[in-house]
């Protein structure tokens, strides 16, 4: 059976891997990390949060207090659903985006990435279809592929996924006899497109999903990182039975804790807990309780404000550098999150340009990484979360010279 090592005869286990591993090729983002992390390269490629904006004393004092007061609990296995005190606090975090839920319906996971994997495991059989924005979060695509599902991308514009295109796509897929299971969406400050789904469209998508019996998977890691005023409330704020909502502390605190969560309809929640237990027994008691201490003792809302300020300045640096160095191109204007989506001239292929960009010491992620169907040739994702504003400017300057070079080829 063809699997991970298809074509790699040096692998002694070639032929033994499960069929589902066929989709598990290293993502383009991952392959980039090695090159992009060289200090002389300005990396506009990864999506690493700027954790240095979090004062380490806040974390050290939370750990210190936890170990003094509840050391044995923090070092023990915990509940497969997650620590009750943290689940209670997660409700306060979600309330900032208009969500009212029950503590019983929150399941803590090892980052929201793990929640994505668990939901896929619960719902996807080979050949099932996941509807997703085009473009869509690269590592979600890897997950869906690893369960042998098909991803059908629905186009977006500057207001997010286009409802009429979704209706059409659903009708076509149904006519072709496909089983539609999930609508996966990153509605707010989309990764990678940077756009936000309008409120009217949120309601319309929920309606379409309801009519067609499709579960909505709302992935919202960036919603609290807004720059010019808060985005529309989460879709989960108005629809409880048809939405699984995913949240995370990775961007509002730090990804190293690996703590995220799902807020699931009651019926799904039970299966999610069982799947979580099967995978990890219980999410890390230690990191959950450190976060719980942090939330109860630090001014976490002010810390989110600090992150907003840092990322707003970087977004502004990127937008003004783009306007200065690449005035003939077009790009999205994010009101939050980490990413700008750049449209290249038709004759420029983002993937084949990448080695030449790296030679000129700038890295980015080619658009094709964010499509399951080979689209995105003429797009690149630019991340402004990690480099300083000066580096972002320099990176865009280098990129403009690379693109100009391509046009002269």
Closest distance of CB 186 from ligand PMP, Å: 5
- Residues in contact with ligand PMP, counted by CB under 6 A, come to a total of 13
Residue with tokens 């529309």: 232
| Element of type H or E holding 70 | helix 56-74
Residue 231 as a binder of ligand PMP (CB under 6 A): the answer is no
- Contact with ligand PMP (CB under 6 A) among 146, 152, 185, 248: 248
For ligand PMP, which residue has the nearest CB? 111
> Which CB sits closer to ligand PMP, 325 or 339?
339
Closest distance of CB 19 from ligand PMP, Å: 26
Closest distance of CB 251 from ligand PMP, Å: 8
Residue 186 as a binder of ligand PMP (CB under 6 A): the answer is yes
- Contact with ligand PMP (CB under 6 A) among 191, 276, 288, 379: 191
> Which CB sits closer to ligand PMP, 192 or 232?
192
Give the binding range for ligand PMP (CB under 6 A) out of 107-115, 142-150, 164-172, 268-276. Answer: 107-115
Give the binding range for ligand PMP (CB under 6 A) out of 64-72, 234-242, 248-256, 369-377. Answer: 248-256
Residue 282 as a binder of ligand PMP (CB under 6 A): the answer is no
> Which CB sits closer to ligand PMP, 111 or 163?
111
Residue 137 as a binder of ligand PMP (CB under 6 A): the answer is yes
Closest distance of CB 71 from ligand PMP, Å: 26
CA distance 248 to 112: 6
Count CA atoms within 13 Å of residue 226 on its CB side: 14
> Which CB sits closer to ligand PMP, 196 or 400?
196
Residue 111 as a binder of ligand PMP (CB under 6 A): the answer is yes
Residue 288 as a binder of ligand PMP (CB under 6 A): the answer is no
> Which CB sits closer to ligand PMP, 191 or 379?
191
- Contact with ligand PMP (CB under 6 A) among 146, 152, 237, 250: 250
Report yes or no: 188 and 197 within 8 Å, Cβ to Cβ: yes
In the region spanning residues 143 to 172, those forming contacts with ligand PMP, defined by CB under 6 A, are none
Residue 260 as a binder of ligand PMP (CB under 6 A): the answer is yes
> Which CB sits closer to ligand PMP, 137 or 144?
137
Three-class DSSP labels, the chain:
CCCCCCCCCCCCCCCCCCHHHHHCCCCHHHHHHHHHCCCCCEECCCCCCCHHHCCHHHHHHHHHHHHHHHHHHHCCCCCCCCCHHHHHHHHHHHHCCCCCCCHHHEEEECHHHHHHHHHHHHHCCCCCEEEEEECCCHHHHHHHHHCCCEEEEEEEECCEECHHHHHHHHHHHHHCCCCEEEEEECCCCCCCCCCCCCHHHHHHHHHHHHHHCCEEEEECCCCCCECCCCCCCCHHHCCCCCEEEEEECCCCCCHHHCCEEEECCHHHHHHHHHHHHHHHCCCCHHHHHHHHHHHHHCCHHHHHHHHHHHHHHHHHHHHHHHHHHCCCCEECCCCECCEEEEECCCCCCHHHHHHHHHHCCEECEEHHHHCCCCCCCCEEEEECCCCCHHHHHHHHHHHHHHHHHHHHC
Query: Which candidate, 108, 174, 114, 167, places its Cα nearest to that of 139?
Result: 114
> Which CB sits closer to ligand PMP, 74 or 116?
116
Closest distance of CB 46 from ligand PMP, Å: 9
Give the binding range for ligand PMP (CB under 6 A) out of 106-114, 123-131, 325-333, 376-384. Answer: 106-114
> Which CB sits closer to ligand PMP, 254 or 353?
254
Between strands 339-343 and 379-383, the pairing is antiparallel
Residue 134 as a binder of ligand PMP (CB under 6 A): the answer is no
Give the binding range for ligand PMP (CB under 6 A) out of 52-60, 105-113, 196-204, 380-388. Answer: 105-113
CA distance 372 to 91: 34
CA distance 36 to 362: 8
Residue 188 as a binder of ligand PMP (CB under 6 A): the answer is no
Residue 221 as a binder of ligand PMP (CB under 6 A): the answer is yes
Q: Which spans of this chain sit near ligand PMP (rule: CB under 6 A)?
A: 47, 111-113, 137, 186, 191, 219, 221, 248, 250, 255, 260
């Amino acid at each position: 059976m063809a699997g991970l090592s298809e074509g790699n005869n040096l692998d002694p286990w070639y032929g033994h891997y499960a069929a589902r591993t066929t989709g598990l090729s290293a993502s383009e983002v991952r392959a980039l990390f090695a090159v992009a992390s060289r200090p002389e390269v300005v990396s506009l490629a990864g999506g690493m949060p700027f954790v240095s904006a979090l004062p380490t004393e806040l974390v050290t004092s939370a750990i210190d207090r936890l170990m003094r007061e509840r050391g044995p609990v923090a070092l023990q296995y915990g509940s497969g659903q997650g620590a009750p005190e943290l689940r209670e606090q997660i409700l306060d975090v979600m309330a900032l985006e208009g969500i009212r839920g029950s503590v019983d319906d929150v399941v803590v996971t090892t980052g929201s990435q793990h929640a994505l994997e668990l939901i896929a495991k619960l719902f996807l059989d080979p050949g099932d279809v996941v509807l997703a924005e085009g473009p869509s979060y690269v590592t979600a695509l890897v997950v869906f592929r690893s369960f042998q599902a098909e991803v059908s991308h629905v186009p977006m514009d500057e207001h997010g996924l286009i409802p009429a295109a979704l209706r059409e796509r659903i009708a076509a897929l149904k006519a072709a006899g496909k089983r539609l299971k999930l609508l996966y969406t990153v509605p707010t400050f989309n990764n990678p497109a940077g756009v936000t789904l309008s409120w009217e469209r949120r309601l319309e998508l929920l309606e379409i999903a309801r009519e067609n019996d499709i579960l909505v998977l709302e992935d919202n890691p960036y919603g609290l990182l807004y720059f010019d005023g808060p985005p529309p409330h989460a879709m989960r704020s108005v629809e409880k039975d048809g939405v699984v909502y995913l949240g995370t502390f990775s961007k509002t605190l730090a990804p190293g804790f690996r703590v995220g969560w799902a807020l699931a309809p009651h019926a799904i929640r039970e299966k999610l807990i069982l799947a979580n237990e099967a995978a990890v027994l219980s999410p890390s008691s230690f990191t959950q309780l450190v976060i719980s201490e942090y939330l109860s003792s630090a001014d976490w809302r002010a810390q989110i404000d600090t992150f907003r300020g840092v990322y707003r300045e970087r977004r502004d640096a990127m937008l003004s550098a783009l306007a200065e160095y690449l005035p003939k191109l077009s790009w999205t204007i994010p009101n939050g999150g980490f990413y700008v989506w750049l449209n290249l001239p038709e004759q420029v292929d983002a993937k084949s340009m990448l080695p030449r960009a790296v030679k000129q010491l700038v890295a980015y992620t080619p658009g094709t990484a964010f499509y399951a169907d080979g689209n995105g040739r003429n797009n690149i994702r630019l991340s402004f979360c990690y480099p300083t504003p000066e580096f972002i400017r320099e990176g865009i300057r280098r990129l403009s010279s690379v693109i100009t070079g391509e046009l002269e080829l």
